[in-house]
Copies of this chain bind each other. A is one copy, B any other.
Amino acid sequence: MSPTATRTELSILKHLWSGNRMSAREVHDAVSTETGWSYSTTRTLLTRMEEKGLVAKADVHGVAVYAPALSRVTVLGALARELTRDVFDIKGALPASMFADSPHLTGDELAELDAILNAEGSNSKDGDEKQ
C-alpha cells in the first residue's frame, strides 16, 4: 500500500508535482516562503520521504534531485478515499468530478482518479507508479 504523506510532506510533494525534478535547494526555495522552514528541515523531510518511498532521488551531475514517487492523483485519491469511505461511510460511486476544478488534473488524471476512488477493496493494482 502506498505510503501515507503527512501534511508537511504534502507541502513538498505539491511542488515536486509541478513537473521537473528539483534539487533540495530548489525545493527549499519553493516551499520556504509558505513554510518558513530552515534548509535543514527541508532536507530532512526530503530524506525521510525517500526512505518512505514518497519521492525518488536521482543523481544529476553530482547533485541530488528529487521527483515524486507517487502521482498527485494517486495520493489525492488515497486520501479522499480513506476519508470518505472509512470515516464518512460513503459507499459506492465517489465522483472524481469533485476534483474537476483543480488546475492540476487533466482529463486523463481525472479518469485515473475515478478508477482509484471506485476501486473495490484490494488495491492490488500493482502497476508502475510514478509521474
Interface residues of A (CB under 8 A from B): 7, 10-11, 14, 72, 76, 79-80, 82-84, 87-95, 97-99, 101-105
* CB-defined A-B contacts under 8 Å, sample of 18: A10-B87, A72-B88, A76-B83, A76-B88, A80-B83, A83-B83, A84-B102, A88-B99, A88-B102, A88-B105, A89-B102, A89-B103, A89-B104, A90-B99, A90-B103, A92-B101, A94-B101, A97-B98
Copies in the complex: 2
Q: Which residues of B contact A11 (CB under 8 A)?
A: 87
CA distance A93 to B87 in the complex (A): 23
Smallest CB separation, A15 vs chain B (Å): 11
